[in-house]
């Protein structure tokens, strides 16, 4: 019951006051199955890209974090080829920083921030991480190529 009322409230907030560059909606009329789009930030390799995400909200939400993954391929040290995201707020403590006070708009804003500012010290993709650290020009070039190939309409 708590999950349903909270999700309805969060979806309403996402509709009326969405964070800049983020949209989110219910998928196939299933309450716990959401989709989101994040626009690539200006002055990032993902600029002008539209990235689709899947959000699966567990029965125990808000006591358990939603599972969020990219459906659009993205070249990023913290996002793997299956779209999984390495971000502390998406995991329960002790390894993660999820708290029931967090919500879906906040999580999507955190993912958007991670896109703009990768964390190469906690990578899912070691090769992309070392490229980001030691050959940033090549990383930016590849990230822009992937954005053009997969994330533009």
Provide φ and ψ at 107, rounded to 5°: -60, -45
| pLDDT tens-place string over residues 101-121 | 999 999 999 999 999 999 999
| pLDDT tens-place string over residues 64-95 | 999 999 999 999 999 999 999 999 999 999 99
Separation CA 70–CA 49 (nearest Å): 13
- Which residues lie closer than 8 Å to 149 by C-beta, 6 or more apart? 73
Question: What global pTM score does this model have?
Answer: 0.95
**Banded model confidence at residue 153, pLDDT cuts 50, 70, 90:** confident
pLDDT exceeds cutoff 80 at 1? no
Q: Are 115 and 74 in contact (CB under 8 A)?
A: yes
- Which residues lie closer than 8 Å to 92 by C-beta, 6 or more apart? 64, 65, 98
Helical (H) or strand (E) element with 27? strand 22-27
Task: State the catalytic residues.
Answer: 86
- The full set of domains in the chain, from first to last, is 1-151 (3.10.110.10)
Separation CA 90–CA 39 (nearest Å): 20
**Banded model confidence at residue 29, pLDDT cuts 50, 70, 90:** confident
């Amino acid at each position: 019951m708590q999950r349903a009322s909270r999700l309805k409230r969060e979806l309403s907030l996402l509709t009326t006051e969405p964070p800049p560059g983020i949209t989110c909606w219910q998928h196939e009329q299933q309450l716990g199955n959401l989709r989101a789009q994040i626009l690539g930030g200006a002055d990032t390799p993902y600029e002008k890209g539209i990235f689709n995400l899947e959000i699966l909200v567990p029965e125990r939400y808000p006591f358990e974090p939603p599972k969020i993954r990219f459906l659009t391929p993205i070249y990023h040290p913290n996002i793997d080829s299956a779209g999984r995201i390495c971000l502390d707020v998406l995991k329960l403590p002790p390894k993660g920083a999820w708290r029931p006070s967090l919500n879906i708009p906040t999580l999507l804003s955190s993912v958007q921030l991670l896109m703009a500012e990768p964390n190469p010290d906690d990578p899912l993709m070691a090769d992309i991480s070392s490229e980001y650290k030691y050959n940033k020009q090549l990383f930016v070039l590849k990230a822009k190529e992937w954005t053009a190939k997969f994330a533009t309409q």
